[in-house]
Amino acid sequence: MSSSRKSRSVLLLLSALASALAGLLAVPGAAQAAAPSYVALGDSYSSGVGTRSYTSESGSCQRSTYAYPRLVASARGYSLDFRACSGATIGAVTNGQLSALNSGTDYVTISVGGNDAGFTGVLTECAQPGWLSDCNGAIDKARAFITNTLPGRLTTLYAAIKSRAPGAVVVVVGYPRIFMGEDCNAATWFSPAEETRLNSTADLLNAKLSAAARAKGFKCANPTSRFTGHAVCDDPEWINGLSNPISESYHPNRAGHSSGYKPLVQGLLVG
């Protein structure tokens, strides 16, 4: 065989070998499955208000890299679509967040209902001196709403989530008890009896969230036990007391998200 023919043969062999190797190297990338999709819906307890650090793109929604959806997504390797927004009500979630869901959504978390029940207004009322406020009246109004009106709204919302993401694992995330029976903040006047009633109202809200969730086959993440011993004025506290800015008040701090919510939600956001 001439040297030129041998050279051409070698070149052809090397070219074929290179093509084969390229094909082999491309297989893992092509076969690699996309990260499971995770959509985080809800209000300030999901967005991360209270952690004191928010992403610029989230604006007034105040989404934080320290919020439990970010922490869970990072730990599990999920692809996160973070839609939770400070101040969100059931209506806001329905109209502004559910569009993130589709038939390919694998996991969903949602915390909503506290703003519908007017919890911010109740806390503001009860934080005042007793002679200046009608704390019990505010609590009674919130409890009536939670008992009589909220369940129907939750049923409609959860049905919409089920319809948009029929194959998703959905975890409904509740609210912790905020108080531990004492008020250590100089500028607030929560009495022990008021704190007990406020905690009981959080329990009532969680019960309604759980009942509506289970009726749709969703999982429930009730944070009550995890936050026991870590309420406002506890040591260490995982929930901020009266804060500056005031919007940070009575929300889980970074420890509340990393040690309270993350392990609870992460254990359920599978399957």
Q: Annotated catalytic sites, by residue?
A: 44, 251
β-strands 37-42, 107-111 pairing: parallel
Q: Compute CA distances 164 → 34, 97, 129, 173, 224, whole Å.
A: 20, 12, 47, 19, 30
Q: Using omega within 30 degrees of 0 as the cis cutoff, is the peptide bond preceding 69 cis?
A: no
Return d(Cα 240, Cα 229) in angstroms, integer.
13
Instruction: Assess contact for 232 and 179: CB atoms under 8 A.
Output: yes
Return d(Cα 185, Cα 126) in angstroms, integer.
13
Return d(Cα 16, Cα 11) in angstroms, integer.
9
Return d(Cα 169, Cα 269) in angstroms, integer.
7
C-alpha torsion angle, residues 268, 115, 233, 130 (rounded to 10): -150
Write out the DSSP string of 69-98: HHHHHHHHT-EEEE---TT--HHHHHHHTG
How remote is the C-alpha of 131 from its chain's centroid?
37
Instruction: Assess contact for 269 and 38: CB atoms under 8 A.
Output: yes
Cβ contacts of 250 within 8 Å, gap of 6 or more: 123, 178, 232, 239, 240, 241
